[in-house]
Structure 1
Amino acid sequence: MRRDYLRPSRLFIASILAGTTGWSGHVLLLPVALAFPVLWSRARTRSGAALVSAGYFLAASRSLPQGVATFYASDLWPGLLLWLCASASFVAVHAVLWTKGLGVRPLHYLLAAALTALPPFGITGWAHPVTTAGVLFPGWGWWGLLATTAGLMGLVTRMWPAVAIALTGFWLWSAADWTDPNLPEGWQGVDLQMGSSLGRDASIQRHRDLIATVKDRAPRGVETVALPESALGIWTPTVERLWVKALQRTDISVVAGAVRVDAEGYDNVLIAVSAGGGRILYRERMPVPGSMWQPWRSLFGTSGRARAHFFANPVAAAGDRRIAPLICYEQLVVWPVLQSMLHDPDLIVAVGNGWWTKGTSIIAIQRASAVAWAKLFAKPLVLSFNT
């Protein structure tokens, strides 16, 4: 039989299209990512499976080089290097677990999906196809996650056309009746457009401007206002006193991002502050690898890195509500939200500071991912981003 030399190229191009379209930032297009397991299973060699995995992942994370270049005010080379390094774990897992054996292929794909969803490989487990569960099975919760996982396994078998037709039916049914998650009663998320100055401008005037924004954006009936990641800058007793004093004679509570610094490094946190005082509500479980989380620094005895509280504080108490907090990067990976959902929170609060993503689809992808998870578990959602 004549060997099909064009097959790897066709699969590679198709995987790029799947990654680009599925992770375009439009939540209803997420199920396009389900083409990946089909393409992975259609590869005839391990190298072909690696090529498919690389095409899908690199296309899904295509905005990373430009974002890194903007963040560091540099050329594209650092971003390109990080882009390639981040893809290594995803490609390696799917290449190693690819198999010709039809009988064991679904189990191999299940193991690959699990490994890329959980640490350590899940630390860079972006663009995970299981995120589509919220679009396919909104409101199904853990059963929807199980159904999606079963569908992913079915897509790598000979029965994949029938499985694909069934999943497409659920997709179209969901899209026809789609509504965004509800905003929880008494909550308001505020988007800001302060660029790179947010979190860096520590002036009293900047805090007064934010306080005025909170009061302006809190209509009657709103008790809690969410501000983006890093909105309060470095959290100090002075900043706390300023905000507590400003919120006197109001019933408003503010949940906002900040940084808590000590001699060894810093925590990326959410602060809850009201007229009664301020406190750390949540410490980020997964800061951005490379730019924030740098575990290798400890090997050289240097400080300044962000700490990762991997499986700590999955939920936090804000007033009489239990919230699932997701700061920036945590919205792109699977395990933080699933860990939070194990505790059945009342709502999801997703914040980010994405000034460096201008001209890319990163914030749109973060929003789409958060919306998908909120829809899957039927949780109200509060969003707050700075651009």
Structure 2
Amino acid sequence: MHRNCLRPARLVIASIVAGWIGWSGNVLLLPIALVFPVLWSRASTRSVALLVSAGYFLAASRGLPHGVAAFYASDLWPGLLLWLCASGSFVAAHALLWTRRSSARPFRYLAAVILMALPPFGITGWAHPVTAAGAVFPGWGWWGLFAVTAGLMGLVTRAWPAVAIILSGFWLWSAANWTDPKLPEGWLAVDLKLGASLGRDASFLRHRALIATVKDRAPIGIKAVVFPESTLGFWTPTVERLWISALQGTDITVVAGAATLGAKTYDNVLIGLSAGGSEVLYRERMPVPGSMWQPWRSWFGKSGGARAHLFGYPIATVGDRRVAPLICYEQLIVWPILQSMLHDPDLIVAVGNGWWTKGTSIVAIQRASAIAWARLFSKPLVLSFNT
């Protein structure tokens, strides 16, 4: 009886370690997440598979309770509740698709991989093991994605030791020759440390300070300057006129986050600004569920919350460059970046406003995920965050 209890306990502990280390914010440690399917396949019962899945996911998303408490200026209980609720789809999918039949297991796991990559389950599809493709097969593009998916299927078979050795070999070779994605020529990424005031302080002085940043940090040859999510706050005609006037006499395009108001909801967007005018470049496909995206409000006749443009147009154009935009939460899930890559953009622009994540690894994980995808598809990367 003791041995029967010890084996499941080891699997759960190993899954917690895999989730904790794999999603620590270091891009080269992402392949540790590939241990999860091995542990899932070694479960002897569906309940053990459920516990293994829960251990992995909860460890990978461990920063959520603290982050939610900071965002709402509350105690940990709301964050803990959201943490457990968010794990529900991941745990349910992997528990329901688990099977004792070894011949069916690779196809069951493939179903879980696909299910957690696409809506509706993919809306909370954090910590997806396929994100490791960029650290294992950098530069392979779609072939690298297919290769790591095939590897995940192999890791749930009896041949998993051989598959693990092959994947480890590619991982070690990648780590030995690793280079971070390059910043595209003529682009400048601006990181800010303005905390919770970003997007909330709409004063003339704040906008003037941001404009000064453009002019002070944009040397000769810079054509585009990228600011974090929410930088411009609510997008109004007054803000628009101020920026366009300030950019007169320059050929710089500013890309910055803002919010545009609708009748009952708002859009989290990226705005393009230049001396010639402004435009909404991109509307976020997946805002943060719970804190931003609250579809249930409309069910009760209430307004508020951000709109989710789930499969909205995934490419923005800045000058003569085609850009794959990722705003904050979109860096943690799978389908937005893959939808953008179907259009073969010139570069990736990933922005975020992570002031509420202080003391957690969330922003580091966002950066690592964006870097992994950029390396997989050999795309230049622009990262801009506020903390």
TM-score calculated relative to the size of structure 1? 0.99
Structure-2 residue corresponding to 1:110: 110
Gaps of 5+ in 2: none
Distance 2:187 2:47 in 1: 50
The CA distance in 1 between the partners of 2:123 and 2:211, in whole Å, is: 35
Amino acid at match of 2:86: A
Match of 1:172 in 2: 172
Q: CA deviation at 1:217?
A: 1.6
* Aligned twin of 1:259: 259
Instruction: Report what 1:62 is aligned to.
Output: 62
Counterpart mapping for 1:338-377 below 5 A: 338-377=338-377
Q: 1:302 is matched with which residue?
A: 302
Q: Is the aligned partner of 1:5 residue 2:26?
A: no
> Is 1:163 matched with 2:158?
no
- Three-state SS of the structure 1 residue aligned to 2:298 is helix
| Matches of 1:214 and 1:357, distance apart in 2 | 26
Q: Structure 1, residues 126-180: CA drift from partner, whole Å, max 9, x if none? A: 0000000000000000000000000000000000000000000000000000000
Cα shift at 1:262: 2.1
Query: Which consecutive residues of structure 1, in runs of 5 or more, have no partner in the other structure?
Result: none
For residues 171-320 of structure 1, what are the structure 2 equivalents within 5 Å?
171-320=171-320
Counterparts of 1:3 and 1:181, CA distance in 2: 48
Report the secondary structure of 1:4's partner residue: helix
* 1:125 alignment counterpart: 125
User: What is the rounded CA distance, in whole Å, between the counterparts of 1:47 and 1:249 in structure 2?
Assistant: 66
Aligned counterpart, 1:23: 23
Structure 1 CA distance, aligned partners of 2:138 and 2:2?
A: 46
Aligned residues: 387
**Residues in 1 aligned to 2:267 and 2:103: alpha-carbon distance in whole angstroms:** 47
CA shift digits 1:249-293 (9 cap, x unpaired): 111110000000122110000000000011100000000000000
Listed one character per residue, the Cα deviations across residues 324-349 of structure 1 (whole Å, up to 9, x for unaligned) are: 00000000000000000000000000
SS of corresponding position for 2:4: coil
The offset of 1:4, in angstroms, is 2.2
- 2:41 and 2:34 map into 1 onto residues whose CA distance is 12
Question: Is the aligned partner of 1:336 residue 2:318?
Answer: no
Q: Aligned partners of 1:3, 1:196: CA distance in 2, in Å?
A: 51
CA–CA distance in 1 between the matches of 2:371 and 2:300?
40
- Aligned equivalents of 1:134, 1:261: Cα separation in 2: 37
Residue 216 of structure 1: CA displacement?
1.4
Counterpart of 1:290, as a letter, is: G
- 1:14 matched residue in structure 2: 14
Quote the offset at 1:371 in angstroms: 0.1
CA distance in 2, matches of 1:368, 1:268: 22
Question: In structure 2, what is the Cα distance between the partners aligned to 1:140 and 1:223?
Answer: 30
State the superposition RMSD in angstroms.
0.9
